[in-house]
Structure 1
């Protein structure tokens, strides 16, 4: 089976093609439900790639959708754990080592398959009357006893801490940016905490220079398919002057004046695509090129790392959890709490207090 991209004027769509060259009907129905829930085409593609792996597992195991039960989830986890990842891990040896899928990737695949089974149940798929991969929490929310889900499996994953750039790294990056547009985009992510997709979807009328703020709106009309992640619109105050100054300078001096698009950031230059909205691929390419010029070659330094840096600096500066959550546009505190583990102000204060007490005890002991 394979996932194919079909390019259309209304936008790209993805399909799962079986071994006979036909569109898989169940997957197509699943895709329609995902699009109906507002998922982006790229999210749909991710689901289809995960579903393709599940179909391969069923074929190798001699199972069908209706015969797959909770007990088979252990075999599925073991099978997924043997799949090689596309990423490589650098070692002290001359050659890099290709790793297997991470627990996070495996859990994502399991969640996608679980969503697929939920859809099959709702669609009335013959032989599928329950989701065999539903977790205890999912069943409990549906009013079903938790004991029914004892066989459902997920892997424990590492809760990674967001990695912010240091002040020196930020200064090195900004020092190599000579194009006004690029500087404006990077400063909006760094000083406003915007996601890359949000930066690319900002319109001219979203900027309020007098009130020093930018409004982040949910948009799906980007001609290059870039989408804002969150459906929750928010207002971001920008009281650090550099970002809005760079945006104002870009609009006044560099942005094509004859552009029909209301998107703020365009391709620009003297080519025939100058008035087109900038794509995510172009942003990522620009950022990587700037990082190389600044000597920042770590793989974790991506455009999204600027958002991590913004959030970490605000938390370390004393911003409260709820305020930080609202500024970042997180739907729940679970997404925000990662920044509190980077530098916990309360823990640091307790640590300093403990050191002071310990030092007093040593001085008192020496005085005796």
Structure 2
């Protein structure tokens, strides 16, 4: 099991200790088919909902773990609508986040009313209010492509401009900021290697985080990673990266030991020196996200993130390859997800033809 999943497994165990028994039963039912990371998100969604129930007086429980099935059976559509408003207004969740939280609840209520049984073989939940809700098809490729428009690097020219900015433009923008200048000069080569690797392979942030030095095969241009959704999480799969990624990685590996002076036995590929310390440790997932966001905002693409760098790679890759190669490169379990890039590529190519100049005869 990779490092993130080990961490999330411990967090999940701690979280379920404070949830109702029927939620623990649901999570145990889902364990064979869902990763600890996914189940941790479920658990967080349930805890938020249960705390809202208590706060609204819809449960007599003083603790989340004491909420009863009868209290869930008594819920009305109007009350669920109130919860959705709470998510939108008080929590300031966007549509995608709200729908994901509601989908988690629908999955729990479905399990309790259709799968789980009591000792007399009756459903644990006699009335399922969530069955009356309809959810948006948020995973429809057209919808996702529309949402990504303007939030990714949409062609090779823009990808090149972003890399050039990190190499030179960002330095000009921080000349008067001594602290920013210090960290940039120390980490520029590492940051470029990481971003170039994502933009030349489409790796996820969790896959980047988990990389060890021995996972990189420079000769074959392969990164060996734990892929999301693969049942056997003890096996790593090889993901190809392009020449640009290889060149940047080579530059980083030549300075990794000297700049970061890793602690003894540290195998992580990408290192950072924690504040107040002198030796490098595995760069955290959050630090990777913050690093990309820092450059993205300065570049004028504030919505750009690690995941959107992956989308940027995929859009460019799909324009030159078929859907099945793109699916395999990205580690998608279905071509339905990969269809997003068909939509984005159509828009990118339409934009490219508008820029095309020629002399009329």
TM-score, length-scaled by structure 2: 0.67
Bigger RCO (CA 8 Å, 6+ sep)? 2
* 2:69 is aligned with 1:65: yes
The answer as to whether partners of 2:189 and 2:251 remain within 8 angstroms in 1 is yes
Aligned to 1:288: 293
Of 164, 178, 200, which residue of structure 1 is paired with 2:152?
164
The answer to which structure has the higher helix fraction is: 2
Aligned to 1:343: 345
1:288-328 deviation per Cα after TM superposition (whole angstroms, max 9, x unaligned): 33334xx2354311122211111111223x21111111111
The answer as to whether partners of 2:189 and 2:252 remain within 8 angstroms in 1 is yes
The answer as to whether partners of 1:191 and 1:243 remain within 8 angstroms in 2 is yes
Structure 1 distance, partners of 2:296, 2:350, is 32
Pair 1:34–1:10, CA change in 2 (3 A):
closer
Structure 2 distance, partners of 1:51, 1:263, is 34
Of 46, 51, 64, which residue of structure 1 is paired with 2:41?
46
The answer as to whether partners of 1:106 and 1:155 remain within 8 angstroms in 2 is no
Pair 1:301–1:73, CA change in 2 (3 A):
farther
Pair 1:289–1:25, CA change in 2 (3 A):
same
Of 217, 230, 248, which residue of structure 2 is paired with 1:208?
217
Structure 2 distance, partners of 1:99, 1:56, is 13
Q: Within 5 Å, which residues of 2 pair with 1:264-283?
A: 264-268=269-273, 272=277, 274-283=279-288
Aligned to 1:79: 82
Of 153, 160, 169, which residue of structure 1 is paired with 2:134?
153
Structure showing greater radius of gyration is: 1
The answer as to whether partners of 1:77 and 1:106 remain within 8 angstroms in 2 is no
Aligned to 2:11: 12
The answer to which structure has the higher strand fraction is: 1
Structure 1 distance, partners of 2:35, 2:128, is 24
Of 173, 177, 190, which residue of structure 2 is paired with 1:181?
190
Aligned length: 300
TM-aligned CA deviation for residue 212 of structure 1: 2.0
Of 226, 229, 235, which residue of structure 2 is paired with 1:217?
226
TM-score, length-scaled by structure 1: 0.66
Aligned to 1:142: none
Pair 1:260–1:279, CA change in 2 (3 A):
same
List runs of 5+ in structure 2 lacking aligned partners. Answer: 1-6, 60-67, 171-183, 355-361
Aligned to 1:321: 323
* 2:206 is aligned with 1:197: yes
Structure 1 distance, partners of 2:292, 2:302, is 12
Aligned to 1:27: 23
Structure 1 distance, partners of 2:44, 2:274, is 37
RMSD between aligned alpha carbons?
Answer: 4.0
TM-aligned CA deviation for residue 277 of structure 1: 1.5
Larger CA deviation: 322-331 vs 47-56: 47-56
TM-aligned CA deviation for residue 283 of structure 1: 1.2
